[in-house]
Every structure is written in C-alpha cells, then in structure tokens.
Structure 1
Amino acid sequence: MSLTATEPTLAQPVPIKRLLSLDTLRGFDMFWIMGGDEIFYALAKTTTWGWAAFMADQFTHPEWNGFRFYDLIFPLFLFMAGVSTPFSVGSRLEKGDEKGPLARKIITRGITLVIFGIIYNNGLFVKPIEEIRFCSVLGRIGLAGMFAQLIYLYASERAQYVWFFGILLGYWAALMLIPVPGCGAGVLTLECSLPGYVDRLLVPGKLYLTVHDPEGLLSTIPAICNALLGIYAGTILRNAMRRPEEKIQALVGLGVIFFILGWLWNMVFPVNKNLWTSSFVLVTGGCSLGLLALFYWIIDVKRYQKWTILFTVIGMNSILIYLAVLIINFEHIADFFFGGLIHQLSSEPLKAVLTVAGMILMKWLFLYILYQKKIFLRV
C-alpha cells in the first residue's frame, strides 16, 4: 500500500482517464457513505416534510427482506470495481504482461483490503480474538473483487458467463437444499439461514448480528457476481468497435432484464441484502447498469463535465476517505470553523443541514487537496 502520484494500479477501483463517468459515479456512490445520507436524516428529525421522511427511509436498510436505495450503495461499489478491470487488467494483458504476476498482485491487494477492513472495524489496538469482528465491507470488496478479477484473468468470456450464472444458481440451491441443524433446509431467517450457520461455524471472533454477519463468508460468494457484471459492462464500454449509443443500449437493456428477473426471482428467493441473495444481485446489478449508462451518456457522450469535479475528487480516493475517519475527526474540524455561526441560527432544519454540510465540506476539501497534488491511495 502506498500514497503516490503515479499511475494507479488494479485491485481496488481506480481512476481511469478514459472513463470520467466511472470516477464520477464512484464519487456519487461514496458521497452518501461519507455523510450525504445524514442530510435527509437531519431534515426528517427537524421538519414534518413528507419527502424528507421518505428520503430518510430510503437511506436505511430493510429489517430483513426488501430493497431500498441504501441497499444499492455497497453492490454498486463492487460493480464499479468490476467495470475498471477490463481497462486495468485487460490493458496489461494486451501489453504482454504475464498472468502469474498479475494474479499475485490481485491476490495481495485483495488480502490487503481484508486487513484494512479488520482494522476499520476494530481500530488499531489489539483486542482479545473473541471481541474482534473479522468480516467487513472492505473485506468483501477485497475478496469478491479478487475472485472476479481472477476469473476474468483465467476464464474465457463464455466461461465467465458460466461462472456468473453458476454461482447465482448454485447459491440459491445451497440455501434452499442444505439443511441447517435445528432448522432444516430453505429457512431464510436471521437465526436459521445457511450463511449465518456457516458464519457461526467458521468465522472467529464476533459477528455483527451475533448469529449472522451481513459481510460473512458464504454470502461473499454471490457478491462476486456483482463484480463480474461490472467486468462485463466494462468490456462493453472498452469495445472500440461499438458506437456509444450501442453501448448505452446494451447497458440499459441488460439492466432492465436483470432488474425484472431479480424481482421475479424474489417470489421464491427473496431480495435480501443480509443474505446477498441471487435475486438481490440481479436487482442491484440492473440498477448499477442503469446508473452507469446514465452517467456515461451525460458525461462521456454528451460531454457535460464541469460539474463532475464535485464527485471525481471523492471517487479517485474512495478507499482513503473511507479509512480517514479512523484518524481524522471531521465533525470536530467542521464545528471549529462553522459551529459558532451555525449555533446562532434560529431555524432548526437549517442548523441541522448546515452541520452535516460543514462536515461533508471538510471531507471534500481534504480530498480536493490530495486531488490537486495528484496523491491517490494505492492498495
């Protein structure tokens, strides 16, 4: 891992000059993680506005089955990691790089993200193993992205399709047919699901939900398909033989098909983020394809690009800002600069929104300084 101003490498989502839309979409995704969602929470708490309550609800996760906008943020990030792969790994293969060294780099960076995820969950201080949460968001990004890139590296295009549908169907079969002791087969509840049982059996330390971890071992397997779908989308966008309009049509068409198939599958295999069900993969994959097509059309085809700086500075250092909150108290910094002014305001909604906006601004300025100096986190 290093901070560098040189060309980024390949394991995590990286800045790709040919696709400004990808960096912008990644920044849009990370904007909600770095505090954008709190604007709606603040408005919902301080007003009676119905739309604010609706939006705040969309930035929460369903208790178990179901889907809200907030459920898209994580799989969209995985999807974008896949989109960058044909540009990074594919270009290196075309230059004659051997697969072995590339595979070692992919594996090393995947493991590095797993380690970063453990640190993010537990801090820098050593704890007893039973108090450590080993599963993490970064760990899932690292493992799912790693396996998807290895499949891209060694499997033919046709074989990649087999991997994609084989994983989704195999995961469905496993959850419906393999019995869990004391519960039986096909019971998709918090206490009785197969992923939760595997977590309790194999994962050391503590689980996020005590009997289940939403970033657990078994449920990481279908997440590979979000990255594989991103790889397919990146292959479409990298194809110089296709016109931009054809690329957009392909992305939108496939997105609509997957979105519909996901909700049809939901009737027998519920859309569930905690279990990362196959139907969840298709629904989020369809949404991801649609968003990528929209950003690509606006930014890379229509060339409306002046506004993209708001998100690209976030997208080009997405992992860094995710980790930075461990050592930088942006809320304290924002309060230092804006607290006195904000506290003098009489409007509670305005105070709440400006408090959140100040924190986001501090994070953005931190990333903008790094962006200006061309410093990006390489993992």
Structure 2
Amino acid sequence: MQQEKGIQSARLLSLDALRGFDMMWIISGEIIIHALAKVSGDPVSQWMSDQLHHTPWNGFTFYDMIFPLFILIAGVSMPYSYGKKLEGKENEALKIAKRHAYRDLIKRTLILIVCGMVVNKALQFNGYEQTRFASVLGRIALSCFFAAIIFMNCGLRTQIVIFLTLLIGYWILMITVPVPGYGAGDLTKEGNLEGYFDRLFLPGKLHRVVYDPEGILSTIPAVGTAMLGVFTGQFLRREFASITPFKKSLMIGGAGVVLMGLGLLWDIVFPINKNMWTSSFVLFAGGLSLVFLFVFYLVIDVWGMKKWSMPFVWIGTNSILIYMAAHGVIDFKYTSTFLFGGMVQSLSEAWQEVWIGTGMLALQLALLYFLYKKRWFLKV
C-alpha cells in the first residue's frame, strides 16, 4: 500500500505552459499553419492544417481537443487553489472559508458568462433573437462551477460516482428520450436530444441554427471533463512515499492512453462528437489531454527544462485576456498588416499571409511578455 507523504503546494509551471500552448493555436497559430499549408502544399503542413479544423460532426481532430483541454487544465488547478483555502480548517472556520470560496466562484462564473456574450458581440445590441447567450467562456464557467462545488463538498469516492453518473446518465438520456419527429437515439444534427433541448430552452440565437455546440444539456458531460482535471490535480498535489514525480508523470500518461481506449470503445455505440460533447468524447479528449499534460509535466516540472516554455507561460497566465483580445477586442491582423505589410509586399500573397500571421503572434507575445513582467494578470 502506498503511503501518503504530504501535500505539494507549489504552482506547476507546466499547467501554465500547457494552457498557453493550447491557447496559442486559436489566437494566431492556426492562421500561420493554414497559410503555410496553402503556400507550401507539402503533406505535413496540409495534415496540420486539416487537424486545425473542427470535425463537421462525428470524429475527432486536434482542434477538437483545444476546448476540453482548457477545461481539464482548469480542473487540475482546483485542488491547488481551493485546497489551500479549505485545508486545515474545521467547523465555523471551514464554513467561513467555503462561503468566501462560493462567493468568488459565483462572481467568476457570472463574469465569464458575460465575457462570453461580449465575445459573441452582445454589445452590438442586435436584439434578443440575434444575441447568442451560449459561449465558449460560458461553458468553461459552468462546467468549472459545478466541478468546484462537487470538489469542495464531496470526497474522492463520491466524486468518482458523480463523474460516472454524469457520463452514463447523459448517454442514457441521449439514446432513450425521444425527439418529436425523430424518435429516440437519433444522433444526427437535427434529431439529437441535445439540439432539441437547445431549441426549446436556450434563449437567443443558436450558433448552428438547429443546435448550439455550447448548449445547455451538453454542459452535463462537460462537467465530467472538468472533473477529470480535478482527479488529476488531486493526484499531482498529493505526495506519496513510493511514487516519484517521474512515476507520477508516467501514470498520468498511462491513464490518458487508457481513457482514449475507453473512449474509442464507447464510440462504437455513442460516437465521439464535440458538438454534442458525448461521453465518449469526454473520455477520448480527456485522455489525449492527459497525454499532453504528461509530456509538459515531465519535461518542465520533473526534468526542470523550463526556458523553452516561457512564451507559452506568458500566454497561459493571461489566457482569458488574450482570448477576448484576439476574438473581437483587438484586431491583431489589422495591426500586423499596418506594421509589417510594407516589409512583405514583394512576396506572393500566400507568403504575405504567413508573415502577417507570424507578426500577429509576435505582437501577442510582446503584449503578454510585458504583462507577465509587470505581474499584471487578469484574475477571473
């Protein structure tokens, strides 16, 4: 039997770096890769470009992992952030600490939901019917809210039971509850229960007309994605006498491979699908996320090779800020074209796109480096 040694409280640099790596692709990385694929036409860059598009419906690409990876990383952080606030307190002191944690959690959730609506251009005031209330930031907010509530109030065994109940319960709902005109178990875009539920209850505009990929019902399994992170964070934070950090990294990688295998098995009867956030998608995307965490944790926190990861850390420590800035607040492409357009005029249009995209990334990194050095972080 493994003996617990204590609690590890130090911040993991690998989490910030992995969060930054994850975010980098959607702030400018994909633009560079798509442009390179267009200008070079070689199979490697073309494959990478293909991987930076969402799967139309069933299936999986690297781009489909970006969102669940972010949620999983947020879950990993919970045992560190909430653990420090609640551990060592009993009775009245614990109640007060939880009350403060709930207040901060509710505030964070509401702010993220509003920020998500801002990214969706809610401030353009196009009317209720043209306002999209669901959002990427809203899903992050809600999935992490419920995962945090479960973590703060339940022991590990209960957490596991809730996790399994969420995934199995969602599967049962999706295959047994009939949708008018389509029946039960129809998992097409028009006929699935999640989309029907959105058409009935999700206010405003649906992102894909007949469904919303960040809809109401699919938030249930998204909580499971956050809980996979919570389980991982508890394992990483706990020190064991017989498990070295190196062994921990291997166990995380191994768990990731197992989860991917389980996801592929479940895919046979419940397809891997990001838009419905199916239970098989939770396991497969969560497993692949853990494989990436294994690599980053091993290289950065176990082997101590940190310098190469600092640009990712600059992004990761201000991830919400740069997400909002790159998706509507700041036109980085316009700025890059204004600053560097004259320098690349002699190149072909395709190569101009490559260098304008690279300029965008350089501008974003310069801004984030400045904020990091000043220790200015958007805390939500």
> TM above 0.5, one fold?
yes
The answer on whether the counterparts of 2:130 and 2:205 sit within 8 Å (CA) in structure 1 is yes
Quote the residue 2:217 is aligned against: 218
Quote the residue 2:57 is aligned against: 64
Specify the code of the residue in structure 1 equivalent to 2:366: L
Whole-Å separation in 2 of the counterparts to 1:373 and 1:124: 30
Counterpart of 1:84 in 2: which secondary structure?
helix
CA shift at 1:204, angstroms? 1.2
Specify the code of the residue in structure 1 equivalent to 2:80: F
CA shift at 1:254, angstroms? 1.3
The answer on whether the counterparts of 2:57 and 2:273 sit within 8 Å (CA) in structure 1 is yes
Deviates more, 1:245-254 or 1:145-154: 245-254
Counterpart of 1:377 in 2: which secondary structure?
coil
CA shift at 1:112, angstroms? 1.5
Structure 2 counterparts to residues 327-338 of structure 1, below 5 A: 327-338=329-340
Q: Cα gap change, 1:82/1:169 in structure 2, threshold over 3 Å: closer, same or farther? A: same
CA shift at 1:48, angstroms? 2.3
The answer on whether the counterparts of 1:26 and 1:77 sit within 8 Å (CA) in structure 2 is yes
Quote the residue 2:324 is aligned against: 323
Structure 2 counterparts to residues 14-93 of structure 1, below 5 A: 18-93=11-86
CA shift at 1:45, angstroms? 2.0
Whole-Å separation in 2 of the counterparts to 1:103 and 1:151: 12
Quote the residue 2:151 is aligned against: 152
Whole-Å separation in 1 of the counterparts to 2:205 and 2:253: 41
What are the superposed Cα offsets for residues 71-103 of structure 1, whole Å, 9 maximum, x if unpaired?
Answer: 000000000000100100011111535222212
Quote the residue 1:271 is aligned against: 272
The answer on whether the counterparts of 1:111 and 1:143 sit within 8 Å (CA) in structure 2 is no
Whole-Å separation in 2 of the counterparts to 1:332 and 1:123: 22
What are the superposed Cα offsets for residues 247-290 of structure 1, whole Å, 9 maximum, x if unpaired?
Answer: 11321221111100000110000000000000000001101111
2:343 aligned with 1:341:
yes
Ranges in structure 1 where 5+ consecutive residues have no aligned partner? 1-15
Quote the residue 2:313 is aligned against: 312
Whole-Å separation in 1 of the counterparts to 2:309 and 2:34: 25
Quote the residue 1:175 is aligned against: 174
Specify the code of the residue in structure 1 equivalent to 2:37: A
Whole-Å separation in 2 of the counterparts to 1:182 and 1:299: 53
Whole-Å separation in 1 of the counterparts to 2:117 and 2:163: 28
Whole-Å separation in 1 of the counterparts to 2:246 and 2:49: 35
Whole-Å separation in 2 of the counterparts to 1:308 and 1:291: 14
Quote the residue 1:259 is aligned against: 260
The answer on whether the counterparts of 2:260 and 2:288 sit within 8 Å (CA) in structure 1 is yes
Whole-Å separation in 1 of the counterparts to 2:112 and 2:106: 10
TM (normalized to structure 1)?
A: 0.93
Quote the residue 1:289 is aligned against: 290
Quote the residue 2:281 is aligned against: 280
Ranges in structure 2 where 5+ consecutive residues have no aligned partner? 1-8
What are the superposed Cα offsets for residues 207-251 of structure 1, whole Å, 9 maximum, x if unpaired?
Answer: 001010000000111001111000111111111224202311321
Deviates more, 1:231-240 or 1:261-270: 231-240
CA shift at 1:348, angstroms? 5.0
Whole-Å separation in 2 of the counterparts to 1:61 and 1:328: 24
Counterpart of 1:216 in 2: which secondary structure?
coil
Whole-Å separation in 1 of the counterparts to 2:329 and 2:356: 20
The answer on whether the counterparts of 2:122 and 2:132 sit within 8 Å (CA) in structure 1 is no
The answer on whether the counterparts of 2:132 and 2:204 sit within 8 Å (CA) in structure 1 is yes
Deviates more, 1:360-369 or 1:167-176: 360-369
TM (normalized to structure 2)?
A: 0.93
Specify the code of the residue in structure 2 equivalent to 1:34: I
2:242 aligned with 1:240:
no
The answer on whether the counterparts of 1:262 and 1:283 sit within 8 Å (CA) in structure 2 is yes
CA shift at 1:344, angstroms? 2.1
The answer on whether the counterparts of 1:47 and 1:349 sit within 8 Å (CA) in structure 2 is no
Quote the residue 1:377 is aligned against: 378
What are the superposed Cα offsets for residues 274-320 of structure 1, whole Å, 9 maximum, x if unpaired?
Answer: 00000000001101111111101000111111111110000000000
CA shift at 1:327, angstroms? 2.4
Whole-Å separation in 2 of the counterparts to 1:95 and 1:348: 61
CA shift at 1:124, angstroms? 2.1
Quote the residue 1:303 is aligned against: 304
Deviates more, 1:352-361 or 1:64-73: 352-361
The aligned length equals 363
Whole-Å separation in 2 of the counterparts to 1:132 and 1:348: 36
Counterpart of 1:240 in 2: which secondary structure?
strand
Counterpart of 2:378 in 1: which secondary structure?
strand
Specify the code of the residue in structure 2 equivalent to 1:213: D
Whole-Å separation in 2 of the counterparts to 1:288 and 1:54: 20
Identity %: 48
Structure 2 counterparts to residues 92-131 of structure 1, below 5 A: 92-94=85-87, 96=89, 97=94, 98-131=97-130
Whole-Å separation in 1 of the counterparts to 2:329 and 2:18: 26
Counterpart of 2:180 in 1: which secondary structure?
coil
The answer on whether the counterparts of 2:122 and 2:131 sit within 8 Å (CA) in structure 1 is no
Deviates more, 1:219-228 or 1:325-334: 325-334
CA shift at 1:139, angstroms? 0.3
